[in-house]
Amino acid sequence: AKSVNRQVRSEMTMNFAEPDPEHMCWRLKNPVDEDFKRKFPALVKEHMASWEINRQKLIQRLQHPKSRGPASSAASAASKDRRQAFRLIGEIREVLTMGAVTLAELRRALQKRNATVAIREEDLAQALQHPDCDAVQVRDLWMLARTGKEENDAFRSVLVGLFRQRDSISKKDIFAEYERLHGKPCVLSDFLVRSLVREIAEKADRDNYVLKGTLLKGATGSSGGAG
């Protein structure tokens, strides 16, 4: 209303009301129809109640224009998106604690947990890049960058580095690279070494490991070629 010239506002108002200088207000030109009020009290009561509600809403909007506008809705939507993103990050980390997975495998695992919400790979790709997710990519696999156990993470970092460069590695390769990077031999137990390797790799033969899923891809490719 402030954007409308005062003279224009006065002319508009004077079409149906007139100023009352004594009470510093405007009054309708037509007097109250007392006869109508007596004949239809219920209708008058309903109308007055409805008008009072609308009047309060109007006052609220005028007093707090920004808090009721599109900006407020946008802020609310942004807050909801942030909550959903952080919940998704938490669920991603839970899945990755079970071992390295591809983006497609991660989506399927999360979709089972969220039957009523569509899990999109583009949303996952964005969440995986978030610092709070603390995930690392090795070829087409994703895994947690850290487990919180320094000795285990030192060994895992060796696996990540080797598999980023090679398709196949041996246990000898792993121990040699570990000693080169950390300046001391690996002292983890055989059981723990096997567990950490299985997180990201699978045995190709007696001495060598390949990334998880590699053998399945090879078998699929061979059967396809045979056909």
Residue type at 218 in one-letter notation: G
Between 60 and 4, the higher pLDDT residue? 60
Confidence band, pLDDT 50/70/90 cuts, at residue 213:
confident
Per the prediction, the chain carries an average pLDDT of 84
Interval 94-153: pLDDT, tens: 999 999 999 999 999 999 999 898 999 999 999 999 999 999 999 999 999 999 999 999
In terms of average pLDDT, the best of 48-62, 76-90, 197-211 is 197-211
Per-residue pLDDT of 32-54, as tens digits, reads: 778 777 877 877 787 788 888 88
CB of 197 closer than 8 Å to CB of 174 = yes
Amino acid letter for position 225: G
pLDDT at 206 over 60: yes
Q: Tell me the Ramachandran region of residue 141: left when phi exceeds 0, alpha when psi lies from -120 to 50, beta otherwise.
A: beta
**Bridge partner list, 17:** 28
Are the C-beta atoms of 177 and 64 separated by less than 8 Å?
Answer: no
* pLDDT at residue number 38: 80
pLDDT in the model for residue 159: 97
Per-residue pLDDT reduced to its tens digit, 68-97: 556 556 666 677 777 888 889 999 999 999
CA distance 139 to 167: 10
**pLDDT confidence of 223, banded at 50, 70, 90?**
very low
Whether the CB-CB separation of 127 and 168 falls below 8 Å is answered with no
> Whole-angstrom distance between the N-terminal and C-terminal Cα of the chain?
77
Rounded Cα gap, residues 152 and 156, in angstroms: 6
The phi and psi torsions of 4 (rounded to 5 degrees) equal -95, 130
Read off the tokens for 154: 């030192």
